[in-house]
């Protein structure tokens, strides 16, 4: 059966694999190569499931790519040259020379004496030499993905190996359990432009909270352009990371939270801190807004009910970005219930577990006409 690599937050393995089973034909996991990184197989292969997810993305699977070749590794520094030679033979003919590409490698076995950078440089070197295609790591249109991993002996014995299998078959000899899983795919079908969906942002001077990364990632993933000099409401704003990001994008911000905002925000005249709960603010003749963001620490269903109550404070074109906190069990049930509440007043434009989400997901909503 065709194989692929799926990546998700390991705390949400169950929900990610449910999505894969639901949206593929006879999909099943083969082995967990590292927490949250799955070798899996399905009858309709990468292309079947990826095209379905292009239309309707999953929430929990962050990244996927096809396994077009499983190349045996020796575990020595010679692997890099060996991989490059094999990639040149097998993948150069498939690479579109007119489209920018990048090589994205992940090394999951810490005993291997090379780093992702070494693999990326060696493989892109031979591919560009052979095809003339340009490397563009920021905006690639096609990606050669590589995961180097060690399988457990049990998984390795169940795994269907290619002609490069270096396992010894005689009893007592060491079995090769290290492989590079390599695949070429259009970036659009990978669910993320980043290796394994790992989107890192540089820490900035003046950053208030790590939560800022969450909003930056959401604006990027959902391709949200904020209106120039728009008015935004930040529910659950303290200590003020999201408010700071919104200010950087020239929004006027009403920040609602009973807790204090970071003192560095105090002198900004374009921030109004309402030191109260969102419920109190709603009863306090609130304004109208272009955007409401909500990162309140609150049960997802209660938060959805509050957003329904706040729909009247959004302009007709208004948008919402919010998180659903999913701490314990019954997470799928909670998501289904909370989204059904939101649908009373909103269209759900996107729902994803972002790299910077911990025990939560992020939703992007538009007010219903
Ligand atoms: C995860 S923090 C928000 C972090 C913020 N997005 C940032 O970037 O700094 C959650 C906040 O929700 C606030 N909160 C919880 N219940 C609330 C309510 N009913 N109304 C307003 N804020 C609430 C808490 O006081 C807390 O500051």
Identify the CA nearest to 54 among candidates 192, 194, 181: 192
Question: Do residues 218 and 321 make contact, with C-beta atoms less than 8 angstroms apart?
Answer: yes
Identify the CA nearest to 103 among candidates 72, 125, 81: 125
**Any domain includes 51:** yes
**Any domain includes 316:** yes
Atom number in ligand 1 closest to CA 237: 5
**Any domain includes 191:** yes
**Any domain includes 147:** yes
| Co-location of 172 and 255 in the same domain | no
**Any domain includes 204:** no
| Co-location of 239 and 165 in the same domain | no
| Co-location of 158 and 230 in the same domain | no
Host domain of residue 23: 3-197
| Co-location of 189 and 50 in the same domain | yes
| Co-location of 34 and 114 in the same domain | yes
When divided into structural domains, the chain yields a total of: 2
Q: Is the CB of residue 242 below 6 angstroms from any atom belonging to ligand 1?
A: yes
| Co-location of 358 and 239 in the same domain | yes
Q: Which of 197, 223, 251 is the last residue of a domain?
A: 197
Identify the CA nearest to 141 among candidates 198, 219, 193, 67: 193
Which residue's alpha carbon is nearest to atom 23 within ligand 1? 236
Q: What mean pLDDT, rounded, does the chain reach?
A: 94
| Co-location of 176 and 291 in the same domain | no
N-to-C CA span, the chain? 45
| Co-location of 165 and 290 in the same domain | no
Cα 130 to Cα 4: distance, rounded to the nearest angstrom: 26
pLDDT, tens digit, 9 for 90 and up, residues 337-367? 999 999 999 999 999 999 999 999 999 999 9
Choose the residue to mutate in 236, 239, 243, 264 for probing ligand 1, maximizing ligand atoms within 8 Å of C-beta. 236
**Any domain includes 259:** yes
Cα 95 to Cα 101: distance, rounded to the nearest angstrom: 8
| Co-location of 301 and 269 in the same domain | yes
Which residue's alpha carbon is nearest to atom 18 within ligand 1? 277
For 133-159, give the DSSP string: PPB-SSS-SEEEEEEEEE--HHHHHHS
Identify the CA nearest to 147 among candidates 332, 300, 328, 3: 3
Cα 208 to middle of ligand 1, angstroms: 14
Choose the residue to mutate in 296, 298, 303, 310 for probing ligand 1, maximizing ligand atoms within 8 Å of C-beta. 296
Q: Is the CB of residue 239 below 6 angstroms from any atom belonging to ligand 1?
A: yes
CA distances 171 to 154, 168, 174, 175, Å, are: 15, 8, 9, 10
| Co-location of 354 and 302 in the same domain | yes
> What pTM was computed for the model?
0.94
Identify the CA nearest to 256 among candidates 271, 234, 240: 234
What pLDDT was estimated at residue 160?
53
| Co-location of 143 and 229 in the same domain | no
pLDDT, tens digit, 9 for 90 and up, residues 270-313? 999 999 999 999 999 889 999 999 999 999 999 999 999 999 99
pLDDT over threshold 80, residue 168: no
**Any domain includes 205:** no
Task: Tokens for 307, please give them.
Answer: 């957003």
368 is catalytic: no
Active-site residue, selected from the candidate residues 214, 274, 325, 367: 325
Q: Is the CB of residue 257 below 6 angstroms from any atom belonging to ligand 1?
A: yes
């Amino acid at each position: 059966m065709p194989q692929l690599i799926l990546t998700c937050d390991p705390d949400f393995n169950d929900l990610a694999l449910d999505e894969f089973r639901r949206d593929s034909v006879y999909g099943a996991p083969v082995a967990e190569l590292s927490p949250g990184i799955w070798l899996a197989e399905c009858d309709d292969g990468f292309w079947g499931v990826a095209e379905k997810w292009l239309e309707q993305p999953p929430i929990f699977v962050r990244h996927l790519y096809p396994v077009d070749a499983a190349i045996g590794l020796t575990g020595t520094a010679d692997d890099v040259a060996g991989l490059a030679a094999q990639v040149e033979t097998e993948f150069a003919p498939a690479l579109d020379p007119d489209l920018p590409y990048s090589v994205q490698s992940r090394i999951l076995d810490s005993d291997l004496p090379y780093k992702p950078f070494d693999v990326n440089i060696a493989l892109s070197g031979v591919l560009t030499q052979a095809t003339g295609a340009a490397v563009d790591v920021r905006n690639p249109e096609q990606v050669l993905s590589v995961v180097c991993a060690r399988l457990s002996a049990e998984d390795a014995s169940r795994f269907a190996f290619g002609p490069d299998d270096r396992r010894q078959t005689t009893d007592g000899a060491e079995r090769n359990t290290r492989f590079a899983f390599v695949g070429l795919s259009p970036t659009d079908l990978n669910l993320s432009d980043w290796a394994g969906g790992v989107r890192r942002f540089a820490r900035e001077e003046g950053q208030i909270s790590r939560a800022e990364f969450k909003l930056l990632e959401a604006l990027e993933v959902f391709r949200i352009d904020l209106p120039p000099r728009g008015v935004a409401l930040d529910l659950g704003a303290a200590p003020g990371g999201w408010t700071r990001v919104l200010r950087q994008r020239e929004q006027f911000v009403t920040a609602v939270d009973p807790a204090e905002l970071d003192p560095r925000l105090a002198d900004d005249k374009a921030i109004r801190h309402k030191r109260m709960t969102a419920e109190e603010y709603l009863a306090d003749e609130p304004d109208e807004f272009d955007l409401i963001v909500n990162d309140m620490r609150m049960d997802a269903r209660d938060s959805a009910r509050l957003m329904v109550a706040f729909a009247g404070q959004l302009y007709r074109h208004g948008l919402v970005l919010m998180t659903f906190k999913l701490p314990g069990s019954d997470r799928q049930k909670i998501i289904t219930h909370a989204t059904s509440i939101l649908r009373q007043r909103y269209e759900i434009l996107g729902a994803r577990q972002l790299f910077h989400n911990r025990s939560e997901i992020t939703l992007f909503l538009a007010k219903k006409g």
